[in-house]
Amino acid sequence: MSDPALFSAPRLQAPVIRTGLARILWREPSVRIGSVLVFLVLLAALGAPWVSAWLGHGPTQQFRDVALSETGLPVGPSAAFPLGADDNGRDVLVRTMYGARISLLIAIPSTTLAMVIGTSIGLIAGFFGGITDRVVSQGIDVALSFPFVVTALSLLAFNRGADGQSLINPMLVVIIVISFFSWTYFARLTRGLVLSMRHLPFIEAAAVAGASRKRIVFREILPNVAPSVLVYWAVQLPNNIIAEATLSFLGVGVQAPAASWGNMIADAQRSSMYQVQPWFLLGPSIALFITVVGFNTISSGLRNVLDPQRL
Amino acid sequence: MLMIRTLPRLFARTLSTLVIVLVSAFFITRLAYRNPAVMLAPRNADQQTIDAVAHALRLDTPWYQQLWYYVYRGPDIQGAPMGLAHWPPALGYSFRHQAGVTDLILSKVPVTLSVSLGALVISAIVSILLGVLAARRADSWIDHTLSGFAYGALSVPTFLSGMLLSYFLYFQLSMHGINVFPGSGYVALTDDPLQWARHLLLPWLTLSVAEVGMFQRVVRASMLNVLGADYVRTARAKGVPEWRVLLRHALPAALNPVITLGGLELAVIMGGAIVTEQMFGLDGVGRLAITAALDGDFPVVIGTTVFAASVFVGCTLVVDLVTRWRDPARAV
């Protein structure tokens, strides 16, 4: 009974499993490709201040005398402006790189917030069932049927004070609005998983062994739900990057002059200057595309490895 | 038998969802627009006019009276109340447009329906063809190209694909003297079907790109499932021509998940249509909703929200019913 090998054996195995998982993930080509793309985006986001300092162009600084021609048209790519300038004489490359920061700074917190809220609500609904479950399901139905753009627009109007100035940081409002629209997916996923798990032998065994509800939810159910939820986090992240870009494109997300890919693309369209200086449009568009493709590729790879039977 | 018991529950749930959406939309707009009367009254209106508008909207009463008034009675316009309980039922009155919200929405629905249904039909046809092709030649270069296309298409937001399409197909082509696509505008179907289709081609393409990307993968997966079945092998052994095996034997069985998704996608497409309408200058429900949300025209915001929710809930309900009808055992 007191043979130490019996007790130490599982602990020895844990790190072996962990390195094994990383290796299995890396063997999946889409995880490798996606990681490279996401790494590039992270590099751009982190390196933005250095590139900005090196070129001597701030993200909101205007260089109307050098970056605009005599007729006021933005210049194309050159050594000083690698991706050319926009209609206000700002550096497109520097702004695109700062755009990566904004994009991640909004999408990551909002997806995480949605995950925490959605998973908690799903756990509660699935575990308690009955009337709680019915109320939560009704709430999910309601939240799902709200049209995203319209509701987001009126919620963001809420933030505009009498003098037209924002009351709280608009970035915070965008984060809240986006998570308000994505918690439902996490809640539905978790609820379904908990319902299918609730009467499995290991849960009943824990209950018979006298485990408290808290212990069953947090120590038995949550660890088994977590992998699917985390994979879903990666699935939802690129959608939320697109949501931020859409709101900024419509002029209600990140406010000018801060650089977001959405409002840069809107700028390009509004001024029609992309017809003279295509990189004004292509810079932020390609960045947005690479980011979303990168995260989509990683998440489909993760899904193949961690959650093969679902979706 | 099962239907008789579950149908009323399904309808009750649909109805309760819509009622809750209506009430929450009311509260959201009440919170969002601090002083709607100022936003709705004419520019530079004097205090008296603002007060009159506020009174007409019952903004000077407690919230429960406002809610009751909004839902049940509505403001008196030309002596007739414009509420849900009166005939014709109306979701309030827009002071900005000087019209009942329901009439406003109904007048814009043809545009939105043309855009979304057209996009749905186009993407369904293209996806079924491509999906069957990909399943037939699974793991060939065609299959891999289509799978790459699916990734790409899913990663482009609607507003970006709309811009790129209008840049290349409208701007570049008309620069070179080819005026195939108009840049914007709308012609009613009843006026001129050809011009109607011509004006909607770009919006349809914009909305279809992302849809086809995902839809064809679903058709492919479902077809692959069915193609492995015994009865397909039997059909082939009988000497049925391959196209007939694919289209007459396998496809109908493979369509179940496609129909489910198609119904839900209609709601997604109508959501995407909001942005597309804005881009191509189409005067539809989406554009009405965006301007109303920015202007503080709250009866229209509530009305369009309820309209969008009804479309979503309606599509879900129809999908649910169709799934039950086609395959009662598998219904959830």
**Per-residue confidence band for A13, with pLDDT thresholds at 50, 70 and 90:** very low
Tell me the shortest Cα–Cα distance from B163 to chain A, in angstroms: 8
Choose the closest CB to B32 out of A154, A162, A293. A154
- For the ranges A161-165, A179-183, A187-191, B135-139, which has the lowest average pLDDT? A161-165
* Higher per-residue pLDDT: A168 or B238: B238
Q: Are B270 and B207 in contact (CB under 8 A)?
A: no
Q: What is the pLDDT of residues A274-306, one digit of tens each?
A: 777 888 888 899 999 999 999 988 888 888 877
| Beta-carbon separation of A148 and B289 below 8 A | no
Measure B143 CA to nearest chain A CA, in Å.
Answer: 17
Would you say A290 and A42 are in contact if contact means Cβ atoms under 8 Å apart?
no
Question: How many cross-chain Cβ pairs, A to B, lie less than 8 Å apart?
Answer: 119
Q: Are B159 and A144 in contact (CB < 8 Å)?
A: no
- Taking only the tens place, the pLDDT of each residue in B251-301 is 888 887 787 788 778 877 887 788 888 888 888 888 888 888 877 788 888
Instruction: In whole angstroms, give the CA distance from residue A166 to residue A162.
Output: 9
Which of the pair, B280 or A2, is modelled with greater confidence? B280
The rounded distance, in Å, linking the Cα atoms of B276 and B163 is 10
Higher pLDDT, B141 or A82: B141
Could you identify the residue written with the tokens 């992270």?
A42
| Token pair belonging to A227 | 């992998």
Q: pLDDT tens, A226-267?
A: 888 888 898 899 999 999 998 888 877 777 778 888 888 888
* Residue A137 clears pLDDT 80, i.e. is over it: yes
- Tell whether omega for the bond before B88 is within 30 degrees of 0, i.e. cis: yes
Strand residues in chain A grouped as ranges (E): none
Contact criterion met (CB < 8 Å) for A145 and B313 = yes
DSSP element (H, E) containing B21: helix B2-32
Report CB contact under 8 Å: B163, A265. Answer: yes
Q: At A197, give phi and psi (nearest 5°).
A: -100, -20
pLDDT tier at A160, thresholds 50, 70, 90: low
Q: Is any Cβ of chain B less than 8 angstroms from the Cβ of A200?
A: no
Which residues, given as ranges, of chain B have pLDDT below 50? Answer: 1, 331-332
Q: How confident is the model at residue A107 (pLDDT cuts 50, 70, 90)?
A: very high
Nearest C-alpha in B relative to A141:
B17
Judge: A147–B13 Cβ closer than 8 Å, yes or no. no
Instruction: Please say whether the beta carbons of B216 and B127 come within 8 A.
Output: yes
Reply yes or no on whether the pLDDT at A15 is more than 50. Answer: no
Tokens representing B158 are 């609607």
User: Does any CB of chain A come closer than 8 Å to the CB of residue B32?
Assistant: yes
Residue A36 pLDDT? 92
Other CB atoms within a 10 A radius of the CB of residue B233 amount to 12
Of A145, A242, A285, the CB nearest to B21: A145
Burial of A270: CB neighbours in 10 Å, binned 0-12, 13-18, 19+? exposed
In terms of C-beta distances under 8 Å and separation of at least 24 residues, what long-range contacts does B144-152 make, across chains too?
A: B146/B216, B146/B217, B146/B220, B147/B217, B149/B213, B150/B213, B150/B214, B150/B216, B150/B217, B151/A293, B151/A296, B151/A297, B151/B213, B152/A289, B152/A293, B152/B213
Q: So what's the pLDDT on residue A114? A: 95
B165 touches chain A (CB under 8 A): no
Chain B: closest CA distance from residue A154 (Å): 5
A143 CB within 8 Å of a chain B CB: no
Dihedral sign, Cα of residue A193, residue A195, residue A201, residue A204 = positive
Nearest CA in chain A to B286: A150
Q: Record the pTM.
A: 0.84
Q: How many CA atoms lie within 13 A of A193 on its CB side?
A: 27
Structure tokens at A125: 């609904």
pLDDT at A258 (0 to 100):
82
How close does chain A come to B74, measured CA to CA in Å? 22
Band of the pLDDT at A309, cuts 50, 70, 90? low
Q: What pLDDT, in 10s, does the model give residues A207-220?
A: 888 888 888 888 88
In chain B, residues 168-207 whose CB comes closer than 8 Å to chain A: 171
What is the phi/psi pair of residue B76, to 5°? -75, 120
The 3-class secondary structure across A61-81, one letter per residue, is CCCHHHHECCCCCECCCCCCC
Search chain B and give the residue with CA nearest A237. B155
Which residues from chain A sit within 8 angstroms of residue B298, using beta carbons?
A: 154
Do the chains contact at B274 and A249, CB–CB below 8 Å?
A: no
Q: How many helices (H) and strands (E) does chain A have?
A: 12, 0
Decide if B159 touches A, using CB distance below 8 A: yes
Interface test with B, best of A154, A236, A248, A289 (most B CBs within 10 A): A154
pLDDT of B184: 66
pLDDT-based confidence at residue A16 (cuts at 50, 70, 90): very low
Q: What's the pLDDT score for residue A6?
A: 41
Q: Which chain B residues in 242-271 lie under 8 Å from chain A, judged by CB atoms?
A: 271
Distance to chain A for B313, nearest Cα, Å: 7
Percent over 70 (pLDDT), chain A: 89
Name the E strands within A32-114. none
The confidence band for A3, taking pLDDT boundaries of 50, 70 and 90, is: very low
Contact A238/B155, CB-based, under 8 Å?
yes
The single-letter code of the amino acid at A36 is: V
A160 - beta bridge partners?
A: A166
